[in-house]
Amino acid sequence: MTDSKDRTSSNEQPWTVLRLLEWTTDFFKQRGSDSPRLDAEVLLAHARDCSRIELYTAFGQEPTSEERVAFRELVRRRGEGSPVAQLVGYREFYSLKFRVSEDVLIPRPETEHLVVEAIDHAKSMQSVPIRVLDIGTGSGAIAVTLAKYLPEAEITAVDCSEAAIKIATWNAQQHNVSDRIRFIHSDLFGALDAEQSFDIICTNPPYVSQAEYDQLAPSVRDFEPRQALLAGPLGTEVVEVILREAPRYLTPGGRLIIELSPMIADACEELAKGQGSYTEIKFIKDLEGHRRLLSMVRE
C-alpha cells in the first residue's frame, strides 16, 4: 500500500475502496486472521468514519490522504496482532455496540448463547422484578444486554477490575439502562451482602487452563487481560468457587448459567453434581456443536 497520491506501477491503478479492501484482505490472510475481509472492512469504515454498509456503495471511490494514513496505521497494528475491537474501540454484541479496551475481555458471539438462556429463563418466571447477578461483567455486555431485553429485571454486575467497572458503567449509560444496573467492585461474591438473593446468576468467568493459555493466539494472549482468561492450572478453579458459593445467593428454583471451555466441560459437570445443590444440570452447545454453557437450577 503506497501513499494516496501515488499510483502503483501496475497500470497506474488507483487505490479505491475496493482495491484497498482486496489488498488488505490478502494481507490479513497471510497473517492468519480468522476473518480477514471483515477485519479489513471494519478498519476501513473506522478510518473513513462511516458504516461498513456504506463501503459497498463506495467501491470506486478513492479515500482521502488522511483516511489512507489512518487506515494504514490500523492495518499495521492489526498485522502485529492487535484485536480489531481494541483498534476501533468497540465490539458489537447481540446487535448492541460496546466500548472495549485492553482492560476488558472482548465480547464473543459464543456468549450470546448465555444471554439467550438467561432471557428464556426470565420469561418463564412469574415473579417481578427478576433479580439477576452477572459475575465478571467486564465490558458489561451481558448485564447491559439483559437490561435492554428484560425491562422488568434488576441487575447487579460485579468485577474485580475497577477499570472494567468504569467501562461497563459507561456502556450502561450509553444504552440508557444504568438506572437498573448496580455495578460493584468485587472479587466474585466477596463484596455482596450475604442476605442478597438472585433469580438468575450468570457468568463468563476465567476458564482457560495454563496449558490452553500458552497456546492461545497472540492477538488474545498478548492483548486481552490475563485475569479475565486464565483460571489456573486446571481451568476449573474459578468455576469451582462459583458452583460452591452460588447456592447461598440463588433463590430456590433460581438458575445458574456458566460459560466454559468445551475442554473442561466434563470436569465442570462433575463439580456441579458433586455440590448436591443443583438439579436440571444441562449443557448448551454453541453453533459449532461444542458444549459451551452449563446451566442448572438450585434445588
Instruction: Quick: pLDDT tens for 252-297.
Output: 999 999 999 999 999 999 999 999 999 999 999 999 999 999 999 9
Kindly report the number of other CB atoms within 10 A of residue 100's CB atom.
24
- Phi then psi dihedrals of residue 246, to 5 deg: -60, -40
pTM of the predicted model, to two decimals?
A: 0.91
User: Is the confidence at residue 9, as pLDDT, over 50?
Assistant: no
Report residue 11's pLDDT band, with 50, 70 and 90 as the boundaries.
Answer: low
Average of per-residue pLDDT across 56-61: 96
Taking only the tens place, the pLDDT of each residue in 14-43 is: 999 999 999 999 999 999 898 999 999 999
Residue 259 has which C-alpha cell?
460459560
Q: Is the peptide bond before 151 cis (omega within 30 degrees of 0)?
A: no
Residues 56 and 168 reside in one and the same domain: no
Assess contact for 259 and 110: CB atoms under 8 A.
yes
**Reduced to 3 states, what is the DSSP secondary structure of residue 294?**
strand
Count the domains in the chain.
2
pLDDT for position 127: 77
In this predicted model, which residue has the larger pLDDT, 50 or 125? 50
Asked whether residue 91 is assigned to any structural domain, the reply reads: no
Q: Is pLDDT above 50 for 8?
A: no
Same domain for 164 and 27: no
- Helical residues (DSSP H) of 14-156, grouped into ranges: 17-30, 36-48, 52-55, 65-79, 84-88, 112-123, 141-149
Considering the domain boundaries, does residue 33 fall inside one? yes
Answer yes or no: is 294 within a domain: yes
Regarding whether 42 and 142 lie in a shared domain, the answer is no
Question: Ramachandran region of residue 289, left (φ > 0), alpha (ψ -120 to 50) or beta?
Answer: left
Measured over the CA atoms of residue 257, residue 262, residue 268 and residue 270, the dihedral's sign is positive
5 has a pLDDT exceeding 60 = no
Residue 178 and residue 287 share a domain: yes
pLDDT score recorded for residue 4: 42
Both 65 and 109 in one domain: the answer is no
Q: At residue 10, does pLDDT exceed 60? A: no
Question: What pLDDT, in 10s, does the model give residues 116-169?
Answer: 999 999 999 877 899 999 999 999 999 999 999 999 999 999 999 999 999 999
Q: What pLDDT is attached to residue 223?
A: 95
Q: Is the pLDDT of residue 3 over 90?
A: no
Mean pLDDT rounded to a whole number for the chain: 94
Q: Is the pLDDT of residue 6 over 50?
A: no
